Structures are given as C-alpha cells and as structure tokens.
Amino acid sequence: MKTHTLDFKCLSDKEIIALLLSNNTSAIVWFFYQKYIATFRYNIYKLFSYSVEVNDLIDEFYLYLFENDWKRLRTYNADASSLNTWISVVSYRFFKNYKLRMIDSNGLITIQEEWDESAKALVQHCDTEMKMDISMAINQIKNIRDRKIVELIFYDNIPPQDIAKEYGLSVDYIYTIKNRTVKLLRLKLNAYY
C-alpha cells in the first residue's frame, strides 16, 4: 500500500501552524530541523561567541514554544507578519534570554558551570600521571594570558565573571577559552577511558 507524504513546503503559514498545534511529529521535525534550521543557527552563532550544542538549543526552543499546549506559538498572527519574520524574532529573543539566564547569569549555577565543576573534580581527584597530562595540555596554550585564565578557572576555582572583570574581558571570551581547553583536555584524557 502506497503511503501519501505531505509536502510541507507547499503549505501556507496558517497550515503549518495548524499541523504543529495538532502535534504532527513529521511537521514538528521538519519545522525545527529543516525549514528553520538556518535561521536558528544564524541567531545562535550571532549570540554565542563560544561553542554550543546547536541541536540542544533548538530542542530548548521547541520546548519553549510547545509549553502549555503551544501557548507561545498560538500568539502568532498571520495577518501581522510572516511566519519567517515571527520565528526569526521569537527565536532570537529566546536564544538571547537563554544565554543570559543559563550562561551569563550572576551567581547562579549554569549548565556550563555544572560541567566545569565536574571537570574540576576530575582534575582534583585524578592520579599523578593524569595530572601531568592535564598540566601538559594546559601548558600547550600559547597565549600566556589565556593560560593564566585557564589556571584560574581549573586550579583556583575562580568564577568566569570575576576573571572577566579582572582582565577587562567579556564573559563570552572567558567561556571561549574554557571550551577550547575542555576540548584539549578531552583529547588528552581519552587515553584513560
């Protein structure tokens, strides 16, 4: 038996919204991971100067729109703007607020910082050979200032906001350094797992 697949590209904005509101799984996947993937990536790369998991952020945006039976998606008015414009503006605002809330918040533990805490615990509780490898990885950082920042983060447990203030740098830049170092440490520590 031949199944009929819907060509989402031929649908109007109102028809797309109706499919999303009906929880059509195929339409949801197409909408978030095909139709608007470039828009989401553009907004994410514009806002985040450090490496982030794009799909994780898109998942968060989906949950944001889906919450309370698509309450936020229901605010879309096809007579006021195109779906392209609306989704671009709403996603930009969401990613910006998410970044401020989860990454740049003052005094709150963020997802990034929770990962950093586990990385610090690893550094503090590993054996001598592993510590030497970690130290060698950190010493491979050519920029002396960046190396000192990494030492403050991983060895002295100084919050990124404090380091940014001390060095006159943005918090984003501190997280960029951290992410680069984490990648380097992961490569070095692969031998232990």
133-144 pLDDT, tens per residue? 677 777 777 778
CATH number at residue 146: 1.10.10.10
16 and 91 inside one domain: yes
- Fill in the amino acid letter for 81: S
Token digits of residue 119: 């990385």
| Range(s) of the domain holding residue 18 | 11-102
121 and 185 inside one domain: yes
54 and 29 inside one domain: yes
28 and 96 inside one domain: yes
Nearest Cα to 158, choosing from 167, 100, 142? 167
Contact between 133 and 189 under an 8 Å Cβ cutoff? The reply is yes
Question: The dihedral of CA 98, 102, 103, 108: what is its sign?
Answer: positive
Let me know if residue 2 belongs to a domain.
no
39 and 87 inside one domain: yes
27 and 67 inside one domain: yes
pTM of whole model > 0.75? no
For the chain, the domain total comes to: 2
Contact between 150 and 177 under an 8 Å Cβ cutoff? The reply is yes
Let me know if residue 171 belongs to a domain.
yes
How sure is the predictor about 7, in pLDDT bands with cuts at 50, 70 and 90?
confident
125 and 74 inside one domain: no
Q: Name the domain boundary from 102, 119, 137.
A: 102
61-89 pLDDT, tens per residue? 998 999 889 999 999 998 888 999 999 99
150 and 87 inside one domain: no
The confidence score (pLDDT) of residue 160 equals 86
Contact between 100 and 130 under an 8 Å Cβ cutoff? The reply is no
Tell me the mean pLDDT in the region 12-21: 94
In whole angstroms, give the CA distance from residue 166 to residue 158: 11
